[in-house]
Amino acid sequence: MSTTPITWFEFGTDRPEEAQRFYGELFGWTFEQQGPSYRVTGAGGDTGIGGAIRTISDDAPNYAAFYAEVADVAETCRRAEAAGGTVLVPPATTPSGLVRAQLLDPVGNRVGLFTPPPAQA
């Protein structure tokens, strides 16, 4: 059994209002704006995973990605490249301490990685 859970998803779109309306009507999801380009949803409630809609520029392709929670984002990126993947968005740390990156697998799928912020004592 894998020890790498999928715990987040993200839709990148140049039409975030339309995506929010669609998923709200289809699944009853509600969204909270977090910054100018990110809308977060609890989506699955107690049994599913959370996610977000990210606003992207008109010239970037829309995407859907899932995020795997890993112990070390940089090391996982190195292993992905060794296995034939490409790092699309290199590891970066948010102000809260969350580390994230995005990969492209060898067949063209976008995959996100993240490590949660360290636990606060």
As a whole number, mean pLDDT of residues 112-120 equals: 88
What total of structural domains would you count in the chain?
2
- Do 93 and 77 fall within a single domain? yes
Range of the domain at 58: 1-69
The beta strand positions in the chain, using DSSP E, are 6-13, 32-33, 38-41, 50-55, 63-69, 86-93, 99-104, 110-115
pLDDT exceeds cutoff 90 at 102: yes
The number of beta carbons lying within 10 Å of the beta carbon of residue 114 is 20
For the cut 80, the answer to whether the pLDDT of residue 73 exceeds it is yes
The pTM assigned to this predicted structure is 0.77
Residues 13 and 62 in one domain: yes
- Give yes or no: residues 57 and 84 share one domain: no
- The domain that holds 104 is classified in CATH as 3.10.180.10
Same domain, 118 and 76: yes
| 41/82 same-domain check | no
Q: Say whether both 41 and 76 belong to one domain.
A: no
Q: What percentage of the chain carries pLDDT values higher than 90? A: 67
Q: What is the pLDDT of residue 1?
A: 58
Indicate whether 36 and 93 sit together in one domain.
no
Q: Are residues 88 and 50 in the same domain?
A: no
Do 104 and 115 lie in one domain? The reply is: yes
Single-letter amino acid, residue 67: Y
